Each structure stands twice: as C-alpha cells, then as structure tokens.
Structure 1
Amino acid sequence: MKNNLSKLLGERLIKVSDVYRETGISKTTLTNLYYQRSTNVQLETLQKICDFLQVPLSELIEYLPEKSEVK
C-alpha cells in the first residue's frame, strides 16, 4: 500500500503542523505517514485526514498488489 499524504499536502502547500492543528492527530503519526514509515494506521486517523483534505480514502491510500509469479 502507498499513501499519498506528502503528495496531497505538497500540491496544496499544507504543512504537517497545519494538519495537526486542525485534526488533533499527533505530529509523530502525521510525520510517519508523510514519510511512509507507518505500517498500521487507524481508520479513524485516515478518516480525519480525508475529511480535512476533502478527498476520498482511495485518493489518500493506494493499494498496489504484489506481482506473483504464475507457473
């Protein structure tokens, strides 16, 4: 999975601290998401970010299936 938080914030010139201030999500959580270091993110956290950015979850998080070898 890939999250597009850094891309979305960059396009809108929004800082992580702005998201923190408006959503109450910890800066540590937001920074880990921004740099794609998070592996488990609560749905409530994703919902707050989507509501703040006014985007659907599918725009924030992309699922890219792993390629498997076919025999």
Structure 2
Amino acid sequence: MIKCHLSKIMGEKKLKISDVSNETGINRGTITRLYHETAVRVEFEVLEQLCNYLGCGIEDLLEIQKTEE
C-alpha cells in the first residue's frame, strides 16, 4: 500500500487545496484525491510539480507501507 503524506505536509505549511491548485496549475480534484488518499493513479508530472512547490522529495510525499496478510 502506498501512503500519501500530502495532507500532513500541507497542514504543516498551512496550505489549502485551493492554494496548491491555483499556484501549481494542478487540477483541484487531483489534489483532493491525493490529500484524502483516494487516488488510484497519478501522473509523474503532478508528483514533480508537487515536490517542487512544497520543497520536498518524493520520499517525503509518498511511502510504501507493508500490509499484513
């Protein structure tokens, strides 16, 4: 399972979904799905834009978590 830390990072920086969307040009729905961890796919370009905008690395944004069987 892949965990997305967008909501945590945005909370620390006191950013709203609309702020990130307006300033990056990323579709608001895409950011909302990543924020709420309901996205099933995401473009590499979107990940790159988010990392550049937030000043973080991909490893800060996404994490692979092992699932127990």
| Category of TM-score, reference length = shorter chain | over 0.9
Residue 49 of structure 2 corresponds to residue 55 of structure 1? no
Moved over 4 A (4+): none
Q: What corresponds to 1:27 in structure 2?
A: 28
In structure 2, the gaps of 5 or more residues are none
In structure 1, the gaps of 5 or more residues are none
Cα RMSD for the two superposed structures: 0.9
Q: What corresponds to 2:16 in structure 1?
A: 15
Count the aligned residue pairs: 68
Identical positions, percent? 37
Measured in 2, the distance between the counterparts of 1:66 and 1:42 equals: 24
The alignment's TM-score, normalised by the length of structure 1, stands at 0.90
The alignment's TM-score, normalised by the length of structure 2, stands at 0.92
Q: Deviations over 1:33-60 (max 9, x none)?
A: 1100001111110110000000000000
- Name the larger-Rg structure: 1
